[in-house]
Amino acid sequence: MVHDDKIVSLELQVRDFKCKKCGYIFRENIPSIGRKNTTAHFRQAAVKKIHDRSFSAVAMEHGISAQSLTRSATEISEQAGLQWPDKEFALGIDGHSFSGHDMATTLTNLTRHNLIGILPDARY
């Protein structure tokens, strides 16, 4: 979890249970953690930092793999409704300033010359 821009961690011992009838082993359910071993808040805070740094730098800072960070970014973009093409394409990321105050970041498919999405200013 990230609190006041500091990483806070909590070590949990998740218990395993075994069904006496079928022998199936299952784990204790912790709703806020899930299978990812990180909270949604932690993943969102980490993904926000890739705005101005590389995936590997942010992943190292947060103690997760770059692949986990990539999966989190993909999950968050899908929840936001961004539709990614199935084929490979060149992604353009541009920052735009309006009157020197408001910022917006645009994501553009440079291969097909169309706008994918506009992200709000990350400073607020």
Q: Determine contact, residues 15/25, Cβ cutoff 8 Å.
A: no
DSSP letters spanning 25-36: EEEPP-TTTGGG
Would you give per-residue pLDDT tens digits along the chain (124 residues)? Answer: 566 777 777 777 778 889 899 988 887 877 666 666 677 777 788 777 876 677 778 888 888 887 887 788 778 777 776 666 677 888 888 877 666 666 777 888 888 888 787 776 665 4
Domain map (residue ranges) of the chain: 1-81, 85-124
Output the pLDDT for position 49.
80
